[in-house]
Structure 1
Amino acid sequence: MDFTPEPYDDNVSSSWLICNTCGTQFPTADRSALKTCPICDDPRQYVPPSGQSFTTLADIRATGHRNEFMSYQHDERVVFIRTEPRFAIGQRAILIRTPDGNILWDCITLVDDETIDRIKQLGGLKAIVISHPHFYSTHIQWARAFRCPVYLSAEDLCWTTTPSAHRKPLTEIESEIVPGVKAVKLGGHFPGSLVLLFDGRLFTADTLMTTPAGLGKWDVDALGEKREKPPGMNSFSFLWSIPNYIPLSADEIHRMWGILKAYEFKSTHGLMVGMDIEDDKVKARVLESMKIQTRAMGNVTHALLDETL
């Protein structure tokens, strides 16, 4: 370990303010010192009709929130963790169990004794990797609780709120976290937006946004007869702002494909529970979706349309 672990002091951090909309924690308990959340003031996020408001870990716990653990039916090495009732964005964290240590992909706000004990029973954490600033949440408290580093892109450090030696900026396009687990910097949604690759599984967060059409069952009709998927149905969208529906440009999507096409994967796993696609042809579906979006934005001769697997 190339840093001195910092103490996990829940008595202090449980009183620090947390944005109710995005779940980001700020290192202060003084409500007069924090009037707005800079992450939610950015065009890639939003403030709800109820207005800006803050809570604390102590209050989240007191209102009955707890973390649920769900083993993935197709791979017991993958465990989904989500907070119920839903809090903030509602994303899941994903525990990836490897022979060289467990990796937590993305982060959720609620960390408590029950969660810490459950993860320790599963082998603890070797490292945390976070896709982008919307999921930074309470990542320093997680890192301190498990005495592990937390990796995020160097380009997005300006969105962090709590100084810490646990934080390790990633500067390369590809970074091996432990043997067999690679963080790949695609950008797009944020300059440093990451995906994570593990044994043919691509964990995408919302760097690639899984669509309802992508999760749909198209192989049979209502009578159980075989059918073909209708043309033009995408599986992913590529957005600069997810909640405000602002798309990425065709050039940016093409740049992302220039990185992603070097990797092989048989499944994708998005930011929410249920956003999982098991399909040996899912890489082709990513490229198809990129082309669908490119055409829909009025591009008929863009170089991305000539890309093949």
Structure 2
Amino acid sequence: MSSLLICTACGTQFPTADRAVLTTCFICDDPRQYIPPSGQGFTTMAELQQQDGQRFRNEFTPLASDPKKQQLISISTAPKFAIGQRAVLVRTPSGKNVLWDCVTLLDDDTAAAVDALGGLHAIVISHPHYYSTHADWAARFACPVYLADDDAAWIARRADEDSYVFVRDIETRIVLDGVDTGVTAIKLGGHFPGSLVLLFDQRLLIADTLMTTPAGLANWTADAAGQTRARPTGANSFAFMWSIPNMIPLSAGEVARMWDILQAYEFRSTHGAFVGQDIEDSPSGGGGVGVKARVLESMQIQVRAMGYADHPFLQVRLRD
């Protein structure tokens, strides 16, 4: 399958090697993605492994706040390819490892590294922009792929039909061979109708269903003089977007609907689509404000900024 065409803008693999047949990417033609100024381009897995003398590789990065347990390990491609998202290998106490999201590159080194970390027993993908080469990953590790039923039409190259578990409910516990992994897929919608987040050990893997902002990653504990201070009023931590690259926000009603689902879950950290987008419950991270409170605060900042000063959602408070 190394000759199958892969979109260079989004990393999606297609079921053909014929460049005369495939001239555009339906993922990138959608307003939630884009065709770059250089135009539509395609590559292959073989070319990714050796392109312009620079071999792409996948880097494995344990979560900085959890270097010993190594329950969450980011997998990202260097140099950056396409969108540049990370996958996250979730290593569960059950011994059943779950891959959150997917990167395009899958080579022998990557497969060997995953095997050394305990293998891969399921893949859960947040939304169609990260479907990438999931068919190759599912075949290599002989594991199921969890995708939202709402977004199945966006699959470009399908894995074996027996590989899919289509998520229909708001909450789906990942149970493999009768073993509860402790991992839960939660369907929030928003960016896509079926956009998912993943909950494990009170850690919420959000991809860009919730988009981590630069202000969300800031350290507000000290100013230039070394004086401790509170986080400035109005600084958000997350944005809620229908189209991220084209900067089209979700509606106030959709943001409020997402909170109606998310408020039922407890989480102490969020982990975004890219390496380093990790926000923890900590006085040093957010001026003493917990991550869940920062999600609600960010939602209300966005609703207010969109001109809905009297929206009922602005009166919602975090439950004790």
Normalized against structure 1, the TM-score is what? 0.95
**Does residue 38 of the first structure (1) align with residue 26 of the second (2)?**
yes
State the partner residue of 1:167. 164
Q: Shift of residue 39 of structure 1? A: 0.3
In structure 2, the residue corresponding to 1:290 is in which secondary structure? Answer: helix
State the partner residue of 1:156. 151
State the partner residue of 1:26. 14
In structure 2, the residue corresponding to 1:294 is in which secondary structure? Answer: helix
**Does residue 71 of the first structure (1) align with residue 62 of the second (2)?**
yes
State the partner residue of 2:211. 209
Deviations 1:239-298, CA, capped at 9 Å, x for gaps: 000000000000000000000000000000000011000115100000000000000000
Q: Shift of residue 73 of structure 1? A: 2.1
Deviations 1:165-224, CA, capped at 9 Å, x for gaps: 212211110000143100000000000000000001000000000000000011110111
Deviations 1:69-95, CA, capped at 9 Å, x for gaps: 011122211101100000000000000
Report the Cα distance in structure 2 between the residues aligned to 1:23 and 1:200, rounded to whole angstroms.
30
Residue 232 of structure 1 aligns with an amino acid whose one-letter code is G
More divergent stretch after superposition (173-182 vs 206-215): 173-182
Report the Cα distance in structure 2 between the residues aligned to 1:293 and 1:99, rounded to whole angstroms.
38
Unaligned segments of structure 2, at least 5 residues: 283-289
Report the Cα distance in structure 2 between the residues aligned to 1:260 and 1:54, rounded to whole angstroms.
38
**Does residue 89 of the first structure (1) align with residue 76 of the second (2)?**
no
Residue 174 of structure 1 aligns with an amino acid whose one-letter code is E
- After TM superposition, the structure 1 = structure 2 runs for residues 1-309 of structure 1, keeping only pairs within 5 Å, are 13-63=1-51, 64-75=55-66, 76-100=70-94, 101-163=96-158, 164-165=160-161, 166-178=163-175, 179=180, 180-279=182-281, 281-309=290-318
In structure 1, the residue corresponding to 2:46 is in which secondary structure? Answer: helix
Q: Shift of residue 42 of structure 1? A: 0.1
Residue identity over aligned pairs, in percent, reads: 62
> Which segments of structure 1 move beyond 3 Å, counting only runs of 4 or more?
none
Equivalent residues, number: 297
Deviations 1:98-157, CA, capped at 9 Å, x for gaps: 122000000000001110111011111110000000000000100000000010100000
Q: Shift of residue 162 of structure 1? A: 2.0
Unaligned segments of structure 1, at least 5 residues: 1-12
More divergent stretch after superposition (165-174 vs 88-97): 165-174
More divergent stretch after superposition (298-307 vs 84-93): 298-307
Report the Cα distance in structure 1 between the residues aligned to 2:206 and 2:62, rounded to whole angstroms.
18
Residue 96 of structure 1 aligns with an amino acid whose one-letter code is V
In structure 2, the residue corresponding to 1:25 is in which secondary structure? Answer: coil
More divergent stretch after superposition (185-194 vs 173-182): 173-182
Residue 110 of structure 1 aligns with an amino acid whose one-letter code is L
Q: Shift of residue 300 of structure 1? A: 1.1
In structure 1, the residue corresponding to 2:129 is in which secondary structure? Answer: helix
